[in-house]
């Protein structure tokens, strides 16, 4: 009887130790930005409120500024996905991580937005490009 209890406890601890990558990834996604607020005429503060700090900033020759922002769409945190991964981890004794982690790794699409501001930090031009997935 003691041996069965030890095996059950060891199995549960092993599954718990092996799980976590896909569960953590599902819980730590990023919320979709409010792209409706990113428009011509918006202030730099409004843009940074929705897209965060720029990853690159360049001062153009004509006195304008061009900032590049990185954002992601389709990778919101999900307790449901995390619970599903956790259940599969327990049922497969952690082997699910071989499948679950790559699934979570390809969630969402990454974009760069290049925003050009005039001298008063108002948007005058906006271009968005999809970032190619790394292989």
pLDDT in tens, 26-49: 888 788 888 888 899 999 999 999
105: pLDDT confidence band, cut at 50, 70 and 90?
Answer: confident
Q: What is the pLDDT of residue 134?
A: 63
24: pLDDT confidence band, cut at 50, 70 and 90?
Answer: confident
Indicate if the pLDDT at residue 4 is higher than 80.
no
Least trusted range by pLDDT, from 10-14, 80-84, 113-117, 127-131: 10-14
Backbone Cα Rg of the chain: 22
DSSP β-bridge partners for residue 85: none
Q: Is 0.95 topped by the overall pTM?
A: no
Q: Report the run of H or E that residue 50 belongs to, with start and end.
A: helix 44-51
Q: Nearest-CA neighbor of 111 among 126, 125, 131?
A: 131
Pairing of strands 65-73, 123-130: unpaired
CB distance 64 to 123 below 8 Å:
no
**Angle at 38 (CA atoms; ends 49, 64), nearest 5 degrees:** 90
Q: What is the pLDDT of residue 124?
A: 95
């Amino acid at each position: 009887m003691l041996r069965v209890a030890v095996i059950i406890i060891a199995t549960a601890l092993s599954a718990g130790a092996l799980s976590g990558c896909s569960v953590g990834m599902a819980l730590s996604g990023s919320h979709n930005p409010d792209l409706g607020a990113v428009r011509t005429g918006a202030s730099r503060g409004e843009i940074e409120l929705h897209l965060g700090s720029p990853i690159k900033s360049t001062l153009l020759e004509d006195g304008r500024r061009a900032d590049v922002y990185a954002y992601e769409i389709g990778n919101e945190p999900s307790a449901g996905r995390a619970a599903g991964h956790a259940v599969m981890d327990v049922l497969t004794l952690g082997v699910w991580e071989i499948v679950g982690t790559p699934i979570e790794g390809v969630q969402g699409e990454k974009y760069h937005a290049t925003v050009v501001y005039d001298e008063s930090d108002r948007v005058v031009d906006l271009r968005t490009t999809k970032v190619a997935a790394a292989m």
